[in-house]
Amino acid sequence: MPDKNRTISIREFGRIYPDSKHIFKRDIEELRAYIDEQNSKDFTGQSDIEEFLKPIKNGVQANNYVGVLQTKSGLTIEILPKIAGRTEEATDTRVRQLFLEMLKAVRSLNGKTFKLTNLNAKKNNLLEVFISMFLNESDMIIKRGLKSSYVTVQSNEKFLKGKLLMTQQLRKNIVNQSYFFNEYDEFMTNSAENQLIKTTLEYLLKNSRDNNNLRIIREQLVYFEFVDLTNSPEQTFQKVSIGRNYTYYEQTLDWCRIFLSRKSFTSFKGSSLAFAILFPMEEIFEAYIAHIMKKSIPDANVSAQDKKYSLFDRTNETKAGYRLRPDLVVRFEDNRTTIADTKWKVLDSTGPSQTDLYQMYAYYTRYRHKSENVDKVVLIYPYSSSYSENEFRSTQYSSEELGSKIQVRFVDLLSGDIGKQLVNFI
């Protein structure tokens, strides 16, 4: 019988094989079934799942998604970002702490509002951190008050309350007339929303290994004493109704969906795993750099996902098409403009891809044609020891031509002075 209390940590692009201690063949089979389940939803057989997990000989490999997942056999897999620093060692503890700091900058993922509060980065794995986040949200609900509403109740009691149901009275109490079959409205907390929260708490009580989390779960369950558990979360979610007075339930219910319905902040979902909480690192890195840049250059206008221009003014006499969308456009008070794209990739000796350079050149020339004083465009990567920062230039030979300057710059995410690094090359 597989041990339910097994946790491993790997980095992006790490490989998982069965061994004799922590990882069993059954775990690999469940991970492969999850991949097949995602691919079966796309008739081409090529869904985006292999951007996260892909099958390899005798195992599976993690790709560009970071987070935590759990097999039904009980193996918890923590996937951490692959990060290097110039001087500081990238320990699991340090990388986990940095990843959670990066998550704080994210406002939405896959169309869902995303908010992190009161993160406890000291916990020894991401699963316990995410459980703690759910408990923070459910604690806020308890403090503000559980959703209550009038529920119609039919019951056979020793007292008369509400309306006497004559048909049921004659059927049930013709012999023992000391009972009354009543129908009445009762103010109760047994709503669909509260049932989902209680069911999630009970689920996490069985899966958490953190003593503090377990203590909080037990304390919170006391407040749900008169709330039923649900055996059919999907059906219960369909009954959820949040009005203006209970918007503070939304984030908690998002977490309930993750743990009970296996729906993450990504588009991946399925029944082959216990749950998966996954984050695309490309989006996390982009949001984090934008967040730091806005704080570090307060006097400039920093536009994320700038949509001001299209690649062409018109196509076949129709409106402009092929909208340009650089990750960051920084417009300074002295009329300078810097355009930047973030790339979550550790560069090897071959440097940036030709496609990325073409893209940056298109940004440079188009924004200049639109009379913006573009000083330079910058590709921002996490630090790599395999490639040196570089600058690509094309010379302006006449007044009609546009020269260009594309810079490749690194951010040492472990250094602690990221804002200063960005200011230096932006």
Q: What is the pLDDT of residues 142-153, one digit of tens each?
A: 999 998 877 788
Question: Would you state the structure tokens that stand for residue 1, as one six-digit string?
Answer: 């019988």
Per-residue pLDDT, 309: 82
Question: Would you state the structure tokens that stand for residue 387, as one six-digit string?
Answer: 């490639």
Q: Identify the weakest region by mean pLDDT among 185-189, 325-329, 350-354, 409-413.
A: 185-189
Place of tokens 């909480």: 277
Residue type, 279: F
Asked if 293 and 287 count as a contact pair (C-beta separation under 8 A), the reply is: no
Rounded to an integer, the average pLDDT of 41-52 is 57
Report the half-sphere exposure of 88 (CA within 13 A, side-chain side): 16
Rounded to an integer, the average pLDDT of 53-79 is 88
Per-residue pLDDT, 44: 46
Q: What is the pLDDT of residues 19-36, one digit of tens each?
A: 867 888 999 988 888 888
Predicted confidence (pLDDT) at residue 103 exceeds the cutoff of 50 = yes
Per-residue pLDDT, 307: 83
**Could you tell me how far CA 274 lies from the centroid of its own chain?**
17
Q: What is the pLDDT of residues 381-408, one digit of tens each?
A: 999 988 888 888 876 544 444 567 899 9
Place of tokens 């998604």: 65
Asked if 182 and 164 count as a contact pair (C-beta separation under 8 A), the reply is: yes
Nearest to 40 by CA among 292, 366, 244, 270: 270
Distance CA 393, CA 408 (A): 11
The larger pLDDT score, comparing residue 267 to residue 58, is at: 58
Predicted confidence (pLDDT) at residue 117 exceeds the cutoff of 70 = no
Rounded to an integer, the average pLDDT of 40-52 is 57
Residue 42's pLDDT band (boundaries 50, 70, 90)?
low
Give me the residues paired with residue 411 across strands. 382
187 exposure class (CB count in 10 Å sphere: 0-12, 13-18, 19+): exposed
Instruction: Report the percentage of the chain scoring pLDDT > 90.
Output: 37
Question: Would you state the structure tokens that stand for residue 15, as one six-digit string?
Answer: 């490989």
Per-residue pLDDT, 230: 94
Per-residue pLDDT, 396: 59
Residue 187's pLDDT band (boundaries 50, 70, 90)?
confident
Q: Where are the domains of the chain?
A: 149-188, 297-425
Q: Global pTM?
A: 0.78
What's the fold here for domain 297-425?
Trna Endonuclease; Chain: A, domain 1 (3.40.1350)
Distance CA 179, CA 423 (A): 79
Select, from the ranges 118-127, 216-225, 293-302, the one with the highest average predicted confidence (pLDDT): 216-225
Per-residue pLDDT, 46: 47
Per-residue pLDDT, 15: 93
